[in-house]
């Protein structure tokens, strides 16, 4: 019985927020790096082999604008960065598979439905440019995110795909789009 009010609250919260989802710009780099690292610290997932220690985390605009078939969306409430998510054609995945990457939100944006909106936006854009599968890597410490990925139809893999460079992740998932 309490599930319905929670779902309604999440939907209401997102509707009440003045959210825009926009392609990343250079001015978003610092805020996104802070959000990503703070989330990993919060869930004790700031371990070697993760984006926490990846230099590209500080330069997301540059990373996503120099790589063809990649994009990163930023969720904004006014001028405040609430998080983001992107698609990257990771080496070794093949021409029709991309990776959902760097999906992180501020604590205040979690539970509002914004993460689902970002993922749906990324999946739709990936499909538009010709990808047929989306791969992701995550960690058990991020169990709420894993639950969202499951709801989107991502299925578990027994081993990693591609050359992500993030050997600190031990959950691998794939979805056909």
User: CATH assignment of 3-176?
Assistant: 3.40.630.30
pLDDT score, position 8: 45
Which has the closest alpha carbon to 134: 101, 168, 91? 101
79 three-class SS: coil
Q: What is the dihedral of CA 23, 97, 125, 104, to 10 degrees?
A: -50
Q: What is the dihedral of CA 104, 44, 168, 160, to 10 degrees?
A: -60
Instruction: Decide if 136 contacts 122 (C-beta within 8 A).
Output: no
What confidence score (pLDDT) does residue 17 get?
Answer: 65
**What residue ranges of the chain have pLDDT lower than 70?**
1-17
Non-local (6+) Cβ contacts of 92 within 8 A are: 161, 162, 163
pLDDT at 12: 46
* 16-39 per-position pLDDT tens digit: 568 999 999 999 999 999 999 999
**What pLDDT score was predicted for residue 11?**
44
Rg (CA), the chain: 15
Contacts of 4 (CB under 8 A, 6+ apart): none
Q: Angle at the Cα of 61 (from 96 to 88), degrees rounded to 5?
A: 15
Domain ranges of the chain: 3-176
């Amino acid at each position: 019985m309490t599930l319905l009010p929670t779902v309604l609250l999440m939907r209401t919260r997102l509707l009440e927020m003045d959210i825009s989802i926009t392609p990343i710009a250079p001015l978003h780099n610092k805020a996104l790096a802070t959000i990503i690292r703070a989330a990993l610290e919060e869930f004790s997932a700031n371990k070697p082999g993760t984006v926490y220690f990846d230099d590209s985390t500080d330069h997301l605009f540059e990373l996503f604008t120099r790589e063809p078939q990649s994009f990163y969306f930023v969720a904004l409430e006014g001028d405040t960065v609430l998080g983001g998510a992107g698609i990257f054609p990771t080496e070794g995945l093949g021409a029709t598979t991309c990776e959902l990457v760097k999906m992180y939100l501020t604590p205040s944006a979690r539970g509002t439905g914004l993460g689902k909106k970002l993922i749906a936006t990324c999946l739709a854009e990936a499909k538009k440019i010709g990808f047929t599968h989306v791969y992701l890597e995550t960690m058990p410490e991020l169990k709420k995110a894993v639950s969202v990925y499951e709801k989107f139809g991502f299925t578990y893999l027994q081993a990693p795909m591609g050359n992500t460079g993030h050997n600190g992740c031990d959950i691998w998932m794939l979805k056909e789009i």
